Amino acid sequence: MRELTTVIKLIMLERKDIFLSILFGFLAGMGAVSLFANSGYLISMAAINPPLYVLTTSIALLKLFSATRAASKYGERYFSHRATFTMLSNLRVHFFEKLEPLAPRIFHRFRSGDLLSRIVGDVESLQNFFLRVYYPPIVMMIVFLSTIAFTTFFSVHVAVTLLVGLVLTGFVIPAWFALKQYKIMSQLREKRGVVSTEATEFFYGFRDLKLYQKLDTQEKNVRTTADQYVKEQRRDSIHELYSTSIIQMISLSVSWFVLGLGAYLVGTGELEGVFLAMLVMISLTVFENATPMAIFPAYYEDSRRAATRLFSVINDESENKGVVEEELLTKELQEKDPISINMNNISFSYPGEARKTLSEINIDIPSGTKTAIVGPSGSGKSTLIQLLLKFYDEYDGDIVVNGSTLAQVRKESVWKATNTVLQSNHFFYGTIRDNLLLARDTVTDEEMKQALEMVDLNEFSLDDKVIEKGGNLSGGEKQRLAIARAILKGSRLWLLDEPTSSVDFVTEKKIYSHLFDLGKEDTVVLISHRLTGLEQMDQIIVMEHGRVVETGTYDELMERKGYFYQLKEIEKSVLM
């Protein structure tokens, strides 16, 4: 049950609905038992011509038990499903709150399709935990024990028989099938995860698969994994039907045994014959409450594995990666002030990688200055931005921002204080206006139009449509729209990672002119593979293989004729 601890805690938030579900479940179960017991007694009494008031009372009770059973069954379904839906809502919110701080490093450990399978499929599987696992055994035990206590007044032997039947159908048989179910559910859930992962990547990579003529091969892989999943589902269904059949067979066997035993007791005078039909009807009816135990092992194992897969995402990351709870972070960055940055002996490796991406980085960026970070691809430039944005918390050394250690600063405070343009920027389905409003809710249409003009997108209307992931925009248009969004945010720290790599030189010069004019008193950190236009930067940091190899102004680096000078000469030769 350790894997389901969190789910149980979330269920217990709905104590009222849980109590009402159990109460109405008990009343529905006892209503059915009472209904059939009274029916058996009424039939027997009618055969011996009893007083009229006995028949009248039995018929009245028959109607009462029928109404009680129907009303209680409705109440049970209503409150149990309401508790389930509320639990699922609480579970989704709880999981998202735990998952959100782990992004984006979590994608180093889990494929997007696998995460989708866990977030959607595993959460949906847990809806059966309360309905099929949590409260049905409780209702079964209460109904059975109440029925056994009632039958004790008529025959201890029959009560013992029902108790043995309870142990067999409620515990022994489900436990036996649970052992067999363990292996089946393990394979079924893994196959579902594989199908979801393969299908997701198939749609993500559809265009590239089509271009490289590998669509048929990947489609065949998806179909193969889907067929394997269907095969496991079939095995699970057969196993479930087999379990149900065994329990029903034992239930009927117990009822036949009660009939034979009752007949013997009537013959010996230990039981009045008028109660025989009643006891048989009780045995037939009470075992209806044991039928859900046939599917108990399947749903328990399914819920356990779903909870394990779901919470392993956040538990492993939180426990093993040293994730700091947000409430422990006390520092806030002042949005109105330019920000200073000091990196002292920073070394970093991506999760699961032995190779160091950054090694002993020492950088000083005073507030209000303009800093360019250049170097070949793979030198660790973008990783510096990711550390500054607190995408990763595990690194050696210290990052100090405005005199406070970055580890003590809340992520939301960092993100609020920065105008960020990354190499990959997401655009949502909607309009240009919708995507620009991400920067600031209070931005006006006039401000948005001015920002679009600054990045040379004035031909766009704010009502122009943007499809998912900006699929109808070119690479350069996406970058310029991302820059416009950063301009509208209006914070005092600019983190720009190759913001104009897909933009022509003329437009790039125009954009930088506006950016440096807007941020003339702000702190600007620009990562660029282009070395033109860096003369206006206060300092240039040159990186190679995760290390800082040179630092200085443009003129200083050119005079040294070191690594930056060599890169500049190569760029000149290529452009000329």
Q: Which residue has the tokens 């394997």?
A: 228
Name 19's Cβ contacts closer than 8 Å, sequence gap at least 6. none
Distance set, CA 266 to CA 166, 263, 273 (Å): 24, 5, 6
| pLDDT score, position 190 | 73
Q: How many Å apart are CA 478 and CA 492, to the nearest integer?
A: 23
Q: How many Å apart are CA 139 and CA 557, to the nearest integer?
A: 80
In 269-341, where does DSSP find H-type helix?
Answer: 276-286, 296-320
Distance set, CA 283 to CA 64, 141, 179, 181, 459 (Å): 21, 15, 28, 28, 80
Token pair belonging to 107: 């994608």
| Average predicted confidence (pLDDT) for the chain | 85
Name 336's Cβ contacts closer than 8 Å, sequence gap at least 6. 492
Q: How many Å apart are CA 54 and CA 369, to the nearest integer?
A: 99
**What DSSP character marks residue 389?**
T
Token pair belonging to 246: 């065994």
Q: What angle is formed at CA 166 by the lines to CA 160 and CA 172, rounded to 5 degrees?
A: 120
| pLDDT score, position 320 | 47
Q: How many Å apart are CA 168 and CA 176, to the nearest integer?
A: 10
Residue type, 339: I
| pLDDT score, position 335 | 65
| pLDDT score, position 483 | 94
| pLDDT score, position 160 | 92
Distance set, CA 204 to CA 201, 211, 427, 470 (Å): 5, 13, 16, 14
Report the percent of the chain where pLDDT is more than 70: 93
Name 412's Cβ contacts closer than 8 Å, sequence gap at least 6. none
Q: Residues 26, 27, 33, 34: what is their CA dihedral angle, to the nearest 10 degrees?
A: 150
Q: Which of 41, 38, 26 is nearest to 65 (CA)?
A: 38
Token pair belonging to 56: 């009248």
Name 167's Cβ contacts closer than 8 Å, sequence gap at least 6. none
| pLDDT score, position 108 | 67
Per-residue confidence in pLDDT tens, the chain, 576 aa? 566 788 888 888 888 999 999 999 999 999 999 998 988 888 888 878 778 877 788 888 888 888 999 999 999 999 999 988 888 888 888 888 887 777 666 776 777 777 777 777 788 888 888 888 888 889 989 999 999 999 999 989 999 999 998 888 888 888 887 777 666 656 676 777 788 778 878 887 888 888 888 888 888 888 888 888 888 888 878 877 888 888 888 888 988 999 999 999 998 888 888 889 899 999 989 888 887 887 787 788 778 878 887 887 777 555 444 444 554 556 777 767 788 999 999 999 987 788 899 999 999 999 999 999 998 888 889 999 989 988 888 899 999 998 888 888 888 888 888 999 998 888 899 999 999 999 988 899 999 999 999 999 988 999 999 998 888 899 899 999 999 999 999 888 999 999 988 888 888 889 988 988 888 889 999 998 888 778 889 999 999 999 999 999 999 999 998 888 888 888 777 655
| pLDDT score, position 184 | 60
Distance set, CA 380 to CA 331, 370, 524, 544 (Å): 27, 19, 18, 8
Distance set, CA 227 to CA 122, 188, 414 (Å): 20, 12, 47
User: Which residues are registered as beta bridge partners of 418?
Assistant: 493
SS3 406: helix
Q: Are 455 and 511 in contact (CB under 8 A)?
A: yes
Alpha carbon 525 to chain centroid, angstroms: 35
Q: How many CA atoms lie within 13 A of 344 on its CB side?
A: 10
Token pair belonging to 490: 């209006």
| pLDDT score, position 576 | 53
Name 408's Cβ contacts closer than 8 Å, sequence gap at least 6. 329, 330, 331
Q: Are 247 and 294 in contact (CB under 8 A)?
A: yes
User: Which residues are registered as beta bridge partners of 185?
Assistant: none
Q: How many Å apart are CA 186 and CA 232, to the nearest integer?
A: 10
Residue 264 has a CB neighbour count (10 Å cut-off) of 12
pLDDT digit string, tens, across residues 367-403: 999 999 998 888 889 999 989 988 888 899 999 998 8
Residue type, 289: N
Q: Are 239 and 184 in contact (CB under 8 A)?
A: yes
| pLDDT score, position 181 | 64
State if pTM tops 0.75: no
pLDDT digit string, tens, across residues 315-356: 755 544 444 455 455 677 776 778 899 999 999 998 778 889
Note the residue count of the chain: 576
| pLDDT score, position 183 | 60
Q: How many Å apart are CA 35 and CA 479, to the nearest integer?
A: 73
Q: Which of 481, 486, 472 is nearest to 502 (CA)?
A: 481
pLDDT digit string, tens, across residues 8-43: 888 888 889 999 999 999 999 999 999 989 888 888
